[in-house]
Structure 1
Amino acid sequence: MPGAPIRIAIVDDHALVRAGFRRLVAAAPDMEVVAEAGDAAAAIEVAAKWRPDVMLLDVSMPGGSGLSALPAIRASSPHTRVLVVTMHDDPSYLRAALASGAAGYMVKTSGESELVGAIRTVHGGRTYIDVAIDAQCAAGSQPKIQAVAALSGRERQVLEMVAYGHTHREIAERLSVSVKSIETYRARVADKLGLRTRADVVRYALEHGIMSPDRDPTKDA
C-alpha cells in the first residue's frame, strides 16, 4: 500500500514559476502541494502553519532573501527539508545555502525530471547538489592532496557518507561498526581537516572531488 504523499510548499515571487512547479509536482504520484508563498516572510509563516515535508525556496525575492529566512524556516518546522531552487549558479550561494540549513540546491535551468528527483532525494534524508554547480565547484578548486592523504581509508568513507547526509547510525550499520566508532572517526576528520559542521563537510567534499551528486556511497555494492 503506498505511503502518504510528500507534502510540498512552493516559495517563489513569480506566479508563473510557482504554477510550473505546481504542475510538475501534480504529475508525480507521490507528491502534493500543500501551500505556496511569494516572499521570505510568508515562507516562514507557511513553514509554521503547514509544516511541509519539503519546501522549494527561491533566493532573490522582494522583502528579503530566501537564504536569510532559512534559519527561521528551519526553526519553525525542523523536519522540513528545504530545497533551494534559484537562478544563481555561483558556488558561493550554494555554500551559503548549506551553511544556513538547506538540504539541497539546484538552478532553475535544470530539467523537469531533475526537480522531481531532487525533491525525493532531500525528502529521503540526503543532500542534493545540482550537477552544473557541482562541476563549477570541482573546476574552481585544486585538491589539497596532503590533507586528503592524511585521512585513513575509513575516515574518508565516513567523511563521504556524512557529506551525503547519512546519520552516524546509518553509517555504522553500513560499515558494521558501532555508532561510537563512527563518532570517533568523525572527530578525527574534524581535527585533521577542520570540518566542524555538515556544511563544512559538504563544501570540502564538493571542492575536492570526494562527493558526486549522482552517487551515494551507501548504495555501492
Structure 2
Amino acid sequence: MKKALLVDDHPVIRAAVRLVLEREGFKHFYEASSVGEALSILREHAVDLVVLDLVMPGGDGLELLGRIKASDWLCLVLVFTSLDPLFFQERCMRAGAMAYVAKTNDLNQLQKAAHAVMANYTFFVRLPSVSQDPRQRSEKEMIDKLSNRELTILRYLAQGMSNKAIAELMHLSHKTVSTYKTRLIEKLGVNAAVHLRDFAVRNHLI
C-alpha cells in the first residue's frame, strides 16, 4: 500500500494533491502544514513519497529536503511549489529531490511527475536560457552562489521580517541573522538592506 506525506500549509492544495495521488494508486496519506509537523511524521511513519512545498511557516522546504537527504528515511521527494524553478530547481536536485513542479502548471503535470518518481525516474522542467541582459545574467550568477540558508534569509528579509523574527523562526541568534544580512548586502552588491526586497522581487524570489 503506497503512502504519501503532503507538506503544504494550504488545506485546499493538500486536498488537490491527494486527489492526484489517489489516481496513482496511493491509499494512505499523512498531512503536514509545517516543517516541524513533517519531521515528526517522518520520524514515526514510513512513507513512499513526500510532496513538498518550499514555502511554509515555521521553516523552509529546502531545510527539510536536506534533513531527508541526510537521514535514512527511504522516501522519494517531489517538490510542488510556487517558487520559480529557474532559481530553485537545481538546488532541489542537489538536495535530493526527484521532481520539481511549479504550482502554475495544471495538475496533470503533478500526476506525470508522481508517476515518473514512483517508477524511479526524475521529472524536471527544461529551464530557459538565462537572459543575455548582463545585469540579469550576473544577478542569476550571484543568486546561484548563495547557500540555501542565505537564500532563505534573503527571502524572509525581502518579505519584511525583522532580524528577531527570522532568528526565532530559524532557531538562530539575532547576531547570526544580522551577520547573514550584512553578508547578503555585500554578496548581492546592493547599497542597503532596504534594497534586498527590490533585488528579490526583480528576480522572482518572492
TM-score, normalization by structure 1: 0.55
CA–CA distance in structure 1, aligned partners of residues 127 and 67 of structure 2? 30
Letter in 1 for 2:12: L
Alignment partners' CA distance in 1, 2:71 and 2:41: 9
Once the two structures are TM-superposed, the CA of residue 141 in structure 1 deviates from its matched residue by 8.0
- How far, CA to CA, are the matches of 1:84 and 1:67 in structure 2? 10
Structure 1 match to 2:16: 20
Counterpart residue number, 1:31: 26
Distance 1:55 1:122, change over 3 A: same
Question: 1:117-161, CA deviations, whole angstroms, 9 ceiling, x for partnerless residues?
Answer: 11121122111113xxx232xx2289xxxxxxxxxxxxxxxxxxx
Equivalent positions of 1:7-156 (< 5 A) are 7-26=3-22, 28=23, 30-130=25-125, 134-136=126-128, 139-140=129-130
Measured in 2, the distance between the counterparts of 1:33 and 1:113 equals: 21
1:20 partner amino acid: A
Whole-angstrom CA distance in 2 between matches of 1:114 and 1:48:
29
Identical aligned pairs, as a percentage? 30
Matches within 5 A, 1:191-206: none
Q: Distance in 2 between matches of 1:77 and 1:18?
A: 25
- In 2, the alpha carbon distance for the partners of 1:49 and 1:78 equals 10
Q: Relative to 1, partners in 2 of residues 1:52 and 1:77: Cα closer, same or farther, differing over 3 Å?
A: farther
Report the Cα distance in structure 2 between the residues aligned to 1:21 and 1:140, rounded to whole angstroms.
31
State how many pairs are aligned.
132
Structure 1 residue 43 displacement after superposition:
1.4
> Which SS does the other structure have where 1:106 is aligned?
strand
Aligned CA-pair RMSD = 2.0
Which amino acid letter does the alignment assign opposite residue 31 of structure 1?
Answer: F
> Structure 2-normalised TM-score?
0.58
